[in-house]
Copies of this chain bind each other. A is one copy, B any other.
């Protein structure tokens, strides 16, 4: 059986349980995605990661790479696709890996899960995990990408002001008051 970023499958499953709380199928597939992407990045380069969904996949990146949501090396733009791009942090050149719905003919339970053809209760979880471990990277697609300029590098915060609305510190680039006081409702 293969490895995921140098970890045995059992080790990685333990890491999933520790961090994510339970063995989510998306985390297991995500492990093979991260493994494939990193193997196709030039060695020794610093990379950042873009994740196209907020569900599961960001945790595979956070478990297996130095890139976390809070350190800014993992960015999430939730366009709802199960895909991740690894790119050189200064040039934006990299690879994108996605779960390919066209490659699921031999893996019916992965298809049922991925396309939500069955409810969670109807799914055969053991078979699903077995299919994922059998498929490894065979259900993935990969292509070279060039990240758009706006997503390369740190997002600079700029100057900090105290908001005249709530009195709290906020980045002045957001306007003459903080976004919460401008109408992003968080609390009743």
Contact = CB atoms under 8 A, between A and B. Distances in A.
Copies of this chain, tallied across the complex? 2
Given A55-B157, A101-B168, A157-B116, A184 B77 contact: yes
Contacts of A56: 70-71
Given A101-B168, A146-B187, A70 B81 contact: no
Nearest to A163: B81
Interface of A is mostly: loop
Contact of A58 (B70, B174, B179): B70
Nearest to A54: B69
Nearest to A67: B21
Interface of A: 19-22, 24, 27, 50, 52, 54-60, 62, 66, 68-72, 76-83, 85, 96, 98-102, 114-116, 145-148, 151, 157, 159-160, 162-163, 166-171, 174, 178-180, 184-188
